[in-house]
Amino acid sequence: MKYINTVITGTGSFIPSRVISNSDFLKQIFFEKDHSLIDSPGEEVTRKFRDITGIYERRWVDEDINNSDIAGIAAEKAILDAGIDRETIDQIIVAHNFGNVTKDSIQTDIVPSIASRVKHLLGIKNPSCVAYDIVFGCPGWIQGVIQSHAFIQSGMAKRCLVIGSETLSRVVDVYDRDTMIFSDGAGATIVEGIESDEKKGLLSYASVSHTEEEVGYLYHGKSNFPDSDPKIGYIKMNGRKIYEYSLTQVPSAMKVAMDRSGIDIEEIKKVLIHQANEKMDEAIVQRFYKLYKVKVSTAEKMPMNIQTLGNSSVATVPTLYDMILKNQLEGHQINEGDVVIFASVGAGMNINAFVYKQ
């Protein structure tokens, strides 16, 4: 029997060279959402932050570069890695949340779409190569892969370029401690339909959205600074609610994808989860395995780069994957035949996961 498998054949990423360490925030004045001053020494604020998130530095783009630029750079690397003719790409899917935001501006620019700009930057002339964006919170890249899988399996596409790219440093409120979480980056993948005698690539998936009370856990809101302009918005979140929601909902969504795959939980080599918060991610993975009554070492199963790269939203999972494949993450490898589960959670609130055989 022949299978048309949805396979990732090339990866690439852009990680900014500009390093912002926790010490860069020592003299920053922070306020609560009620505009009250956080009257704690900078050393205490940054220490507590690292204890909770695991982050001690993050990467921000230089002033002269935009989201579409880094998406294009990551895409170029993925195309080279796959060894394909760019004119044979059927779809370019770019996941992001804020589009292009130029330095010292808080205005989102998504006309034309980021995907259209990437196609332009790549010099692709083929009009049948359709370029479009998706906004799905932090799980955007995973949703893009799932979407490309649907097109490939339906016969509507053979080769897709799926990118997750974000410059969150342009939309943070410097008076909010959450600024220290967010970072910039881009990850890209070539996703193709490959005929084979063996079932491999994307085996199964699951996606869910909760939009009642949860819809406002991540939002666009005014600065914490008391005298700020209320008409200007920044990325905001209710960290405690997100933490509780994620621990409750993400493991069960991952289990749906896992159960649909028919793969035994013991076969999972790695869990590639959105790099949101070190302690939260560890707890999610532990709870996921607990659903199968299995004990696991998260250090072995769950690669992490959040400590040095921060939370770059849609870019965290594809950049993590690219780093592992390129042997840039010590102690972690993914080899042919390994089974991996990808998962993410973010604004919406949305959760998704897919099981993948390398």
Q: What is the pLDDT of residues 64-75, one digit of tens each?
A: 999 999 999 999
Tell me: the pLDDT tens digits for 15-57? 999 999 999 999 999 999 999 999 998 899 999 999 999 999 9
What residue ranges define each of the domains in the chain, with the CATH number in brackets? 3-196 (3.40.47.10), 201-357 (3.40.47.10)
Whether residue 167 contacts residue 61, with contact meaning beta carbons closer than 8 Å, is answered with: yes
pTM of the model: 0.95
Tell me: the pLDDT tens digits for 77-123? 999 999 999 999 999 999 999 999 998 887 899 999 999 999 999 99
